[in-house]
Amino acid sequence: MDVGFSMTNSGPGLEPPFEQAKKVIQKFIQRQVFAESKDELGLVLFGTDRTKNPLAEDGQYQNISIYRHLMIPDFELLEEIEHQLQPDNQHADWLDALVVCMDLLQKETMGKKYERLNIALLTDLSTPACADQLDIIIGNLKKAGITLQFFLPFPVDADAEADGAGDGASQRHPPPGGKGLSREQKQGLDMVRQILTSLDDEDGLEEVHSFSDAMEKLSIFKPIERRPMAWPCQLTIGSSISIRIVGYKAVCEEKVKKSWAVVEAESHHKDDVKRETVFCLNDDNETEVEKEKTIQGFRYGSDIVPFSKVDQDQMKYKSDGKCFAVLGFTKQETICRHHFMGSQVIKVFAPKDDEHAGVALSSLIRALDSLKMAAIVRYAYDRRSNPQVGAAFPCIKKRYECLLYVQLPYMEDLRQFTFPSLENNKKFAPSETQLSAADALISSMMLVREDEDGEKEDIFKVNSIPNPQFQRLFQCLHHRGVNPGTALPPIDPWLRRMLDRPQAVSACCQGPLQEMKRRFPLKEVLHKKEQKTSAHVFGNSDDPDAKKLKIDEQDKFSLGEISEGNVTSVGSVNPAKDFHTLIQQKTIPFDQACEQLTRRIEQLLGNRSTEYYMKTITCVQAFREQAIKTSNAELFNNYMQSLKKGVPDRNLQEFWDLLVQDALTLISKDEEEGSSVSKQEACQFLLFEEKMEEVATPPPEDGGDVDDLLDMM
Amino acid sequence: MADWNAYYQKEDDEVEQEEGEESAGDYKNSGRDSLVFLVDASKEMFIKGEDGEPSNFDMTIQCVRSVYTSKIISSDKDLVALVFYGTEQSKNPRNSFKHVYIYHDLDCPGARRVQDLDGLREEKGARLAAEIMGSGETSLGDALWCCSNLFSDMKLRLSHKRLMIFTCRDDPHGGDGARDRQARTKAADLKETGVVIDLMHLTKPGGFDVSLFFCDIVSPPEDESELGLQLEPCGKLEDLKKRVRAKEMKKRAQSRLTFSLGDGMNIAVGVYVLARTATKPPAVRLYSETNEPVRTKTRLFHTQHGSLLLPSDTKRAQVYGNKQIVMEKGEVDEIKKFSDPGLVLIGFKPMSCLKLHHHIRPALFIFPEEEQVTGNSCVFTALLQKCSERDVFALCKLTPRINTPPRFVALVPQREVLDSSQVQAAPPGFHAIFLPYADDIRTLDVHECPTANDEQVDKMKQIVHKLRFRYRSDAFENPVLQQHYRNLEALALDLLAPEAIEDFTMPKLNMMDDRLGSLAQEFKDLVYPANYNPDSKTAAKRKPAEAGGAVPKKPKVEISEDELRAHVAKGTLGKLTVPVLKDACKQFGVQTTGTKKQELIDALTAQLDK
């Protein structure tokens, strides 16, 4: 990379070539690092103030320094580039630098196996180069089999344009530098052409890239490389025909290779965290049992059948090894596209070295293709794996022929749902004008267009879009790796753009969309049918206010929530707090949380001591608060009624006095609309006197038993 | 519109997640599905068909049994009951209803129940039924009342209630108006409480006239079309099973999403799973002393001071390029978020752009949700109709739930298909086919293979022709699952050996060979040379290597005795590589047992020191 003086020059408002080149290199290394590629990489800077290379003697090869020798790139290198790489004030002959690179490659690859040697030269060509040795250099490049790539701040044809089209054209297309190319640059460019065309007659110039171009291409992280694994097997038809085949996974959802390890928050050490799984009985105390005292079982409907692993292995379905056996042939149209199962497509070829198998397979492929049929096969990967039933479709391409295997469903996999008819239903049937509006929309939004030559162009090819998940993950990893302690960056705009509707289409479809909106009145149903689920009965989730509240709360409590850990039930240590957390996190339904809380309250009251009473009071308080918040006044009020009834029998007068002190009474209408209790009634409620029976709100259920009440919930 | 924008997840589509489990996070949908079979046990039901065809009763029982077993496999939390009416004997709580016999109370089906049903099948089953229940007077009203008690007595919360009536009598009360009236009232009550009543009418000589009585009993069809009642009665077991299966499961949207066409035009759609790989349910851990299930708790400990670690005490990390990169759990989730859940229309493409190999996971099904926004279905239908006519699919970006990266799907139009007896064979809607990203497509180095000539292809065509059959997606049972459940059944019922399964995935070799006859040999003669054996793969594999003149992998490094002695003297044998040492061993006739470097060195040293 050229870090010389001229690289910092740039037109106003433009990024200097140095910064661009640095980004190109960063992106390149980043790609290598995240692809975990084993490729080795060195970095030679030229135009440096210092000179550090083995060829530097007698004033030759000055201002060139080897920054990094050939090795597998790592984060250290990325960090160094980010923080240390600075433009210097010298300049150096880029051809000299090239020679240093060649020397580096040759010396450091000695004794190593390699597939390819490549030098990428990033420079603005502003330094005059000495062309004397050009032929020798080219000769050496050829001899060593080194390929060359040039990265320049301007496109390679920039000067041709400026020369040929005169001033008018060059003003319309100013080269990225903001000024025309200097004489040195033109000369340099000529030399670049000379080198590249002599290395490769035809495609030589394709190896010259502009920085901006390269940035765009390099922004995309390298797809994770996987070597296709061959799966040799025999395709059989009946008992006597067998054809040797090799299967390869051709399409398969690629997952991120690495998973996240759990590390201790302070030390960031994985070894500091130990995961332990314990078994416990389903009783109140959650009695733990040892692993040795547990056995394996399975559910068979309502029964649980103990079924040890040994027995299971002995009795389970046994398949007899790998298999690709034809069960029969069927018309392709009998196989529904939406019945494809599994997560992969396998391409089946004949082995490379077996031409007889090739001919046999070819005759099957061609026969199926001309009859529009497919083979239904039993496929088993190996002895341990479950057999599948799938379809093998013929696939004939210009360069090869193969079978495409896709898994098909078993009877158990299918769900036969019946849906209401749409087109035969007068209510939903669209009118002619509506249909034509839909038709116009489709026309305006076609992603495959024909140009004048009748050639079709697909402007939104999903299978050339990189998986955004990986791109985003690596972007964030890189950011965090280089700038630890800072917030994660937003999603790259180019990535967003790639996932959105193409500009060309969204411009075209405006009109038809407006027409659609006019033609199809959409009306929100006001009286939304309430689903009869606990969430609705207790009305805490679909109420927009409640939702807003929920979100607010989440924001507010998110920190507390994290430190809280995972609360899954109302414990006995701090029941009120657990209850709060449960409600906020919505881990369990409100009514269940209440049930758990009331159970704890009953437990606490059973102790009959002031200390426990205090705890109980906080529970009641919490219950009351949440009940108001979630408009569940009735639930709380009912409980209080039953609690009150129990006071004389259970000798809880002392507790009741505490309640009176804290004025923890029924929730009145004033506090919550859903309550049927007036303020006055609420005040009277706490008074314990003979008049109690006359308290206006009749308890809905006669028995004051908590359990009854819970059943009611 | 913000309201139905609210997304909630109904069912997790992760295969790992157990399906039937009422997940703790989502309680909106908790509650059990329940299904009551109300079966006519009158004499007419036991009349055998011509040519020894099973009686209606027998068919019904077989059908109920298949529902039981499929419930056990696919949704073991659902509740099922079996009630007979028109019996002589009565069996119901307090026996308040005459001629109603509750054979199975509303509960999860188990092994015992399946066995019970087996007892009612065929000839001896009919005898058993006559013995314990007999046939007597009919009062459908009482029967319905009894069933409604079954539903209302249930302690668990029921999310979906369905009642299926199996009968071959279109006029059960023989013109008794009072009883007809009572039955109608009771049916209305049931429907009021959210019970869906279906009629599975069976063949009757002279034809079953639904309009006579049952049209007032059953629930109106969902879409208010007249389709429901014009059904032919079921004559065949297969038909009956199909019809029952279509109804027995409550269809559930996996999620509800907004489908935005652009420019603020949004419609609400439900996402359904019509096909998902059924897997063996995970094993349950049981306490060996009581056989009661145990729960598992996973805790994190600090290795050094042994204290419990809360989730907040941990972070997530990955190592790349020798550097550990650490993030908060929340950040890890956030990275996966691109946009809010929803389905966004990108554009349309001709169907020819959807290639066979565009497959990474099973498809989903998209159907409009009219309940929240009216007019939805109309837009949807128009799009469906037009896409289908123009043979295009809609390309959409699907974000199925929060914190999930987007995937692109092809919405393939599916018009409604009815089978010969007017039962829906394919529902109308869009199939969402998942499309692969660039990363999902692997590059294979393909090699050119010789192609077959016309004669060979023609011979294969004959073979293909001989082995034609009509593929049906529900024709194959999963032998692994079936075997597993048979095993459980055998253990649960203390049977000596599990019932044998028929493995439909095995090729029927004898039949195939018979059909092919001499074709197989003729084909082989055409494509294979005389001495070729496709089954001996090892022999064939080695051949090209030998033919290529045995290219040695690496030039052998010979080492002279002097050099070796020098190394031994200096103690620098370790500098040599293992292959060199091995060769040296061979050269000096040293017997080595090990292949480890040190062992080789020791052996050599011992030999040369002599």
pTM metric for this prediction = 0.69
What percent of chain A has pLDDT above 70? 81
Minimum distance, in Å, between the CA of residue B358 and any CA atom of chain A: 8
Q: In this complex, which of A349, A353, A404 lies closest to B356 when CB atoms are compared?
A: A404
pLDDT of residue B390: 92
Sign of the dihedral defined by the CA atoms of residues A263, A265, A268, A269, in that order: negative
Worst-scoring range by mean pLDDT, A172-186, B67-81, B151-165?
A172-186
Rounded distance between C-alpha atoms, residue B491 and residue A300, angstroms: 10
Residue to test with chain B: of A400, A463, A505, most B Cβ within 10 A: A463
ipTM of this predicted structure:
0.74
Rounded distance, CA B429 to CA B394, Å?
Answer: 12
A348 has a pLDDT exceeding 90: yes
How confident is the model at residue A529, as a pLDDT? 42
Contact by Cβ (8 Å): A439, B390:
yes
**Torsion from C-alpha of A409, A411, A413, A418, nearest 10 degrees:** 110
pLDDT at A243 (0 to 100): 92
Least confident stretch, A19-23, A474-478, A707-711:
A707-711
Mean pLDDT of the A584-596 span: 77
- To the nearest whole Å, the CA of B490 is away from the closest chain A CA by 10
CA gap B365, B432 in Å, rounded: 6
Answer for the pair B302, A275: CB distance below 8 angstroms, yes or no: no
pLDDT of residue A200: 65
Which residues lie across from B349 on neighbouring strands? Answer: B393
CB-based contact B477 A253, cutoff 8 Å: no
Q: Do B275 and A338 touch (CB under 8 A)?
A: yes
| Record: contact B358-A463, CB cut-off 8 A | yes
Q: Where are the beta strands (DSSP E) in B255-385?
A: 255-262, 265-272, 284-287, 294-302, 308-309, 314-320, 323-327, 342-350, 364-368, 373-374
d(CA A156, CA A185): 11
Using pLDDT thresholds of 50, 70 and 90, give the confidence band for residue A368. very high
Q: Is B521 helix (H, G, I), strand (E, B) or coil?
A: helix
- From A301, A281, A303, A311, select the one nearest B293 (Cα to Cα): A281
Q: Cβ–Cβ of B459/A425 closer than 8 Å? A: no
- Would you say residue B539 has pLDDT above 80? no
Is 70 exceeded by the pLDDT of residue A708? no
Q: How far apart are the C-alpha atoms of A284 and A661, rounded to whole Å?
A: 33
Q: What is the rounded average pLDDT of the residues A490-510? A: 86
Residue type for position B288: S
B324, with CB counted inside 10 A (0-12, 13-18, 19+), is middle
Instruction: Kindly state the average pLDDT of the residues A577-596.
Output: 78
CA distances from A224 to A254, A257, A475, B59 (A): 8, 8, 15, 56
A344 touching B (Cβ < 8 Å): yes
Residues of chain B contacting residue A466, judged by C-beta atoms under 8 Å apart: 437-439
The answer to whether residue B452 scores a pLDDT higher than 80 is yes
Q: Do the chains contact at B357 and A338, CB–CB below 8 Å?
A: no
- Residue B30: pLDDT band by 50, 70, 90 thresholds? low
Is residue A675 over pLDDT 80?
Answer: no
A587 interface with B at CB cutoff 8 Å: yes
Is residue A602 very low, low, confident or very high in pLDDT (cuts 50, 70, 90)? confident
Chain B hits for A532, Cβ within 8 Å? 194
pLDDT > 50? residue B4: no
Q: Which of A694-698, B378-382, B558-562 has the lowest mean pLDDT?
A: A694-698
Reported as a pLDDT band with limits 50, 70 and 90, residue A326 is: very high
Instruction: Grade residue B349 by pLDDT with cuts at 50, 70 and 90.
Output: very high
Taking an 8 Å cut-off on Cβ atoms, the answer to whether B442 and A248 are in contact is yes
Each residue of B286-341: pLDDT tens digit?
A: 887 777 888 887 778 887 777 777 777 788 888 777 778 888 888 888 888 888 88
pLDDT higher than 60, residue A4: yes
Which helix (H) or strand (E) segment holds residue A342: the answer is strand A341-349
Q: From its phi and psi, is residue A448 left (phi > 0), alpha (psi between -120 and 50) or beta?
A: beta
Least confident stretch, A79-93, A561-575, B75-89 = A561-575
Q: Nearest-CA residue of chain B relative to A317?
A: B480
Q: CA-to-CA distance for A481 and A75, rounded, in angstroms?
A: 7
pLDDT tens track for A606-619: 777 777 777 788 88
- Stronger pLDDT, B212 or A181, i.e. the higher one: B212
What pLDDT does residue B555 have?
Answer: 46
pLDDT band for position B436 (cuts 50, 70, 90): very high
Paired with A628 in beta bridges are none
Of the residues B74, B153, B240, B286, the best mutation for testing chain A's interface (the one with the most A CB atoms within 10 Å of its CB) is B286
pLDDT in tens, B412-429: 999 988 877 677 888 899
Chain B nearest-CA distance from A70, in A, is 15
pLDDT at position B23 is: 31
Q: Which tokens hold the place of A130?
A: 């000495």
pLDDT band at B228; cut points 50, 70, 90:
very low
Quote the pLDDT of residue A563: 41
Mean pLDDT of A179-183: 63
What DSSP letter does each residue of B528-587 carry, written as one string? S-TT--TT-HHHHHHHHHHHTT---SS------HHHHHHHHHHT-GGGS-HHHHHHHHHH
Cα(A429)–Cα(A422) distance, rounded to whole angstroms? 7
3-state secondary structure string across A247-261:
EEEEEECCCCCCCCE
Read off the pLDDT of residues A54-88 as tens digits, 9 standing for 90 and up.
777 777 777 788 887 878 888 778 778 877 777 77
Tens digit of each residue's pLDDT (9 = 90 or more) over A208-267: 777 767 766 666 665 556 677 889 999 999 888 999 999 999 888 888 777 788 887 777
- Work out the average pLDDT over A389-409: 92
Ranked by mean pLDDT, which of A77-91, A667-681, B514-528, B587-601 comes out on top?
Answer: B514-528
| Residue B545: predicted pLDDT | 37
Nearest CB to A477; choose among B320, B347, B349: B320
Q: What pLDDT does residue A640 have?
A: 83
- Mean local confidence (pLDDT), B13-35: 45
What is the rounded distance in angstroms from the CA atom of residue B71 to the CA atom of residue A300?
10
Instruction: Label the pairing between strands A273-281 and B294-302.
Output: antiparallel
User: A21 CA to chain B: closest CA distance, Å?
Assistant: 22
Strand-strand pairing, B195-201 and B158-167: parallel
Q: What is the mean pLDDT of residues A498-523?
A: 86
Res A684 pLDDT > 80? no
pLDDT of residue B429: 92
Query: How sure is the predictor about A707, in pLDDT bands with cuts at 50, 70 and 90?
Result: very low
B372-391 mean pLDDT: 88
Any idea which residue has 């294969």 for tokens?
B460
Looking at the complex, does the CB of residue A486 fall below 8 Å from at least one CB of chain B? no
Q: Which residues pair with B323 in a beta bridge?
A: B320
Instruction: Specify the higher pLDDT residue, B109 or A454.
Output: B109
Q: Give the closest residue to A303 by CA, choosing from B429, B30, B485.
A: B485
CA atoms within 13 Å, Cβ hemisphere of B156: 16
Q: Is the pLDDT of residue B532 over 70?
A: yes
Mean model confidence pLDDT for chain A: 76
- In the stretch 258-317 of chain A, residues with CB closer than 8 A to chain B read 258-266, 268, 270-282, 286, 289, 293-307, 312, 315-317
| Tokens matching residue B466 | 């001989």
Q: What is the predicted pLDDT for the residue at A205?
A: 61
> From the CA of B144, how many Å to the nearest CA of chain A?
23
The catalytic position among B28, B323, B355, B553 is B28
pLDDT in tens, B47-63: 877 777 788 888 888 88
Which of residues B519 and B9 earns the better pLDDT score?
B519
Average pLDDT over residues A634-647: 81
Please state the rounded mean pLDDT for residues B460-478: 89
Q: Is B28 a catalytic residue?
A: yes
Q: Between chains, do A463 and B529 touch, taking CB under 8 Å as contact?
A: no
> Which residue, among B219, B273, B227, has the nearest Cα to B423 in the 3D structure?
B227
Helices (H) and strands (E) in chain B, counts: 17, 20
Of A74, A295, A349, the CB nearest to B323: A74
In Å, how far is A313's CA from the nearest CA of chain B? Answer: 10
Q: How far is Cα B101 from Cα B119, in angstroms, rounded to an integer?
A: 16
A522, A531, A569, A591: which to substitute to probe chain B, counting the most B Cβ within 10 Å?
Answer: A522
> What local confidence, expressed as pLDDT, does residue B235 receive?
64
Three-state DSSP class for residue B436 = coil
Of A386, A442, A510, the CB nearest to B348: A442
A557: pLDDT strictly greater than 80: no
A654's enclosing H/E stretch is helix A653-661
How far is residue B489's CA from residue B497's CA, in Å, rounded to a whole number?
10
**What phi and psi values does residue A294 have, to the nearest 5 degrees?**
-110, 150
Contact A420 B344 (CB under 8 A): no
Please determine, for residue B379, whether its predicted confidence score (pLDDT) is greater than 50. yes
Q: pLDDT (tens digit, 9 = 90+) per residue, B235-249?
A: 667 777 777 766 666
Question: In this structure, what are the phi and psi dihedrals at residue B130, rounded to the nearest 5 degrees?
Answer: -65, -35
